């Protein structure tokens, strides 16, 4: 909290942080709110931050088209499971009832292959993309995507698969 003091022009306290939380997070939000949103929005709806298979099933029953298995990089709840640990039971629980995406902890093409093997249909590459963009603009992002693609090809070759659709848990070391 000390770093924010220079921006606010005053020292911040625990009460300032608790006040910020109270103003930015609504503990009364529930699945019923998703039903209400669905009344007005008929387009695709994806719910981010799912870490539990029962929540994933609820997302299906309340009308979500997809979910993002994400621990938000651990920023809000640093004790929650990693996305790699949470993903398999979630993917098993919902099957093809909705699209399962994954976010958090993906830093390479090998990580993408791992997440696909664990049940994700696709991966979000937020942090890597932002870093690449900051480093070298559009060229940096294109280079990052090329590197991820090359790393995926190597991982796929080493695991004996020739298409993304063939990637499954058999490609992973079982521990």
Active-site hit among 72, 127, 145, 172: 72
Active site residue 72: yes
Burial of 68 (0-12, 13-18, 19+ CB in 10 A): buried
C-alpha dist (Å) from residue 67 to 31, 47, 70, 104: 14, 5, 9, 13
For 63, the 3-state DSSP assignment is: coil
Per 3-state DSSP, the chain is made up of helix, strand and coil in percentages (nearest 5) of: 60, 10, 35
Q: 131-139, long-range: CB within 8 Å, 24+ apart, which pairs?
A: none
Burial of 146 (0-12, 13-18, 19+ CB in 10 A): exposed
Which segments of 25-108 does DSSP mark as H helices, in order?
31-40, 53-61, 83-94
Q: Which residues does the annotation mark as catalytic? A: 72
């Amino acid at each position: 909290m000390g770093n924010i003091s220079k921006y606010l022009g005053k020292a911040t306290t625990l009460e300032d942080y608790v006040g910020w939380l109270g103003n930015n997070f609504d503990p009364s939000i529930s699945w019923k709110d998703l039903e209400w949103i669905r009344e007005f929005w008929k387009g695709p709806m994806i719910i981010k931050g799912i870490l539990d298979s029962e929540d994933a099933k609820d997302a299906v029953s309340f009308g979500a088209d997809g979910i993002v298995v994400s621990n938000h990089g651990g920023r809000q709840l640093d004790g929650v499971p990693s996305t790699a640990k949470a993903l398999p039971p979630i993917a098993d629980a919902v099957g093809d009832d909705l699209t399962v995406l994954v976010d958090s902890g993906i830093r390479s093409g090998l990580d993408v292959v791992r997440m696909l093997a664990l049940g994700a249909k696709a991966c979000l590459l937020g942090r890597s993309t932002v870093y690449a963009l900051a480093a070298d603009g559009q060229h940096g992002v294109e280079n990052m995507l090329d590197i991820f693609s090359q790393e995926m090809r190597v991982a796929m070759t080493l695991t004996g698969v020739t298409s993304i659709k063939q990637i499954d848990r058999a490609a992973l070391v079982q521990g």
